[in-house]
């Protein structure tokens, strides 16, 4: 990939090997990227999630690379639509995220970048678990409307600075995130976005999520670079 001839590399379709399966994804790298953010989508979603796509555009505008990829294969998505089983298989989803992380670290074009995770809903639990598996590679985690409670057994092991973002009207999830915040032992922060429900569909709320995420990743990518 020649990253010297243009300010932004066009979105590049990629195929990520994860154990016995191959996952479809999209990788985009600004030339001066400070790091790459991997997206772990939520229940019943995919790399085409309009909310994650929107956040990813803001991150790229802020000079970060993004990798959006499907945590499930097409056949698995079909099964999950019928049963809803795989979307809550957090160990499976976290392994897939670790595999995607390893794929980036083994790719000559991406192996030198600092990495972060952006997890939504159940994807946030997968991101937190994966961060404990690759602590030397994952420099920051952001959770949007996440279910960190599903990663409760390992929350005390998370070393990456973690930002939990929850909608002010997403009442059950607010409490789950408060409990998770208390269990996290590293750098951590909980931000409640006023007026937002679980999907941040209210005007301006998703934009606020993107702004907060961009600031968090930029700050921690820079701080790790300084080390």
Q: What is the pLDDT of residue 11?
A: 62
Q: Closest Cα to residue 100, out of 76, 71, 124?
A: 71
- CA distance to 93, 171, 193, per residue, from 90 (Å): 5, 23, 26
pLDDT, tens digit, for every residue of 79-105? 888 887 888 899 999 999 999 999 999
Q: How confident is the model at residue 119 (pLDDT cuts 50, 70, 90)?
A: very high
| pLDDT confidence tier of residue 31, bands split at 50, 70 and 90 | confident
Span between the terminal Cα atoms of the chain, in Å: 28
Query: Rounded to two decimals, what is the model's pTM?
Result: 0.90
Question: What are the CA-CA distances from residue 147 to residues 128, 136, 180 (Å)?
Answer: 10, 23, 9
Task: For residue 146, count other CB atoms closer than 10 A to its CB.
Answer: 31
Find tokens 């298989």 and name the residue: 89
14 vs 42, more confident: 14
Instruction: Set out the domains of the chain in order of their start, with CATH numbers.
Output: 12-226 (3.40.50.1820)
Residues 198 and 51: beta-carbon distance below 8 Å: no
Q: What is the pLDDT of residue 79?
A: 87
Q: Tell me how far apart the alpha carbons of residues 90 and 37 are, in angstroms, rounded to a whole number.
A: 20
Confidence at residue 39, expressed as pLDDT on a 0 to 100 scale: 97
31 is written with which tokens? Answer: 């030339």
Give the pLDDT of residue 207.
Answer: 98
In the structure, what pLDDT confidence band is assigned to residue 223 with cuts at 50, 70 and 90? low
Asked if the model's pLDDT at residue 226 lies above 90, the reply is no
Based on the number of CB atoms within 10 Å of its own CB, is 81 exposed (0-12), middle (13-18) or buried (19 or more)? exposed
Asked whether the beta carbons of 151 and 179 are under 8 A apart, the reply is no
pLDDT in tens, 166-216: 999 999 999 999 999 999 999 999 999 999 999 999 999 999 999 999 999
Task: Check whether 46 has a pLDDT greater than 70.
Answer: no
């Amino acid at each position: 990939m020649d990253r010297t001839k243009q300010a932004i590399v066009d979105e590049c379709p990629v195929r990520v090997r994860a154990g016995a399966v191959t996952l479809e994804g999209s990788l985009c790298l600004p030339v001066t990227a400070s790091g790459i953010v991997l997206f772990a989508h939520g229940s019943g979603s995919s790399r085409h999630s309009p909310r994650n796509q929107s956040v990813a555009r803001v991150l790229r505008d802020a000079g970060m690379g993004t990798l959006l990829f499907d945590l499930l294969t097409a056949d698995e998505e079909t099964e999950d639509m019928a049963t809803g089983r795989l979307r809550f298989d957090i160990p499976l989803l976290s392994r897939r995220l670790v595999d995607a992380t390893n794929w980036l670290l083994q790719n000559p074009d991406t192996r030198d970048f600092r990495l972060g995770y952006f997890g939504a809903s159940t994807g946030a639990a997968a991101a937190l678990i994966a961060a404990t598996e690759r602590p030397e590679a994952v420099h920051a985690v952001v959770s949007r409307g996440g279910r960190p409670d599903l990663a409760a057994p390992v929350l005390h092991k998370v070393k990456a600075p973690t930002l939990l973002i929850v909608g002010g009207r997403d009442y059950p999830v607010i409490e789950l995130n408060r409990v998770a915040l208390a269990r996290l032992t590293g750098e951590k922060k909980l931000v409640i976005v006023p007026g937002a429900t679980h999907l941040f569909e209210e005007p301006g709320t998703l934009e606020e999520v993107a702004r907060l995420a961009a600031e968090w990743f930029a700050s921690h990518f820079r701080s790790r670079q300084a080390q």
